[in-house]
């Protein structure tokens, strides 16, 4: 993915992204501690599998009608993502 696209998506959403990064660091810390203490990543891998299954069960469709740089492209991309669209390639 283009670094400019990633920045355009992430930087305006810094507050939300920081919350997600904090949550991610907590999950990774718990995984490290579980692996160190119990020799297992069972909780992490099961949660990951459940989340992926839930994601795949939701209806998704490729976003194909938005061009980078067009008028209001970022707003359109955000709206499409919230509606279930996924980005599969950039043209």
pLDDT, one tens digit per residue, over 7-28 is 999 999 999 999 999 999 999 9
Q: Is the same domain home to 28 and 67?
A: no
pTM of the model: 0.56
Per-residue burial over 33-59, b = 16 or more CB atoms within 10 Å of its CB, e = otherwise: eeeeeeeeeeebeeeeeeeeeeeeeee
Q: Do residue 67 and residue 31 come from a single domain?
A: no
- Domains of the chain: total: 2
- How confident is the model at residue 12, as a pLDDT? 95
For residues 66 and 78, the answer to whether their CB atoms sit within 8 Å is no
Q: Does residue 53 sit in the same domain as residue 66?
A: no
List the CATH number of the domain containing 30.
1.10.3660.10
Percent of the chain with pLDDT strictly greater than 70: 98
Q: Are residues 77 and 47 in the same domain?
A: no
Question: 47 and 82 in one domain?
Answer: no
pLDDT at site 17? 96
Tell me the helices (H) and strands (E) count for the chain, helix number first.
4, 2
Domain span holding position 21: 1-58
61 beta partners: 85
Long-range contacts for 67-74 (Cβ within 8 Å, ≥24 apart)? 67/91, 68/2, 68/5, 74/8, 74/9, 74/12
**Residue 90 confidence (pLDDT) above 80:** no
Q: For residue 23, what are its two tokens?
A: 């949550």
């Amino acid at each position: 993915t283009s670094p400019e696209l990633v920045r355009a998506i992430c930087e305006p959403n810094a507050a939300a992204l920081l919350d997600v990064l904090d949550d991610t660091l907590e999950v990774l810390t718990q995984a490290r501690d579980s692996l160190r203490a119990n020799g297992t990543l069972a909780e992490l891998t099961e949660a990951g599998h459940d989340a992926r299954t839930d994601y795949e069960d939701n209806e998704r469709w490729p976003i194909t009608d938005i061009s980078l740089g067009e008028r209001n492209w970022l707003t359109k991309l955000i709206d499409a993502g919230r509606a279930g669209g996924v980005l599969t390639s950039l043209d």
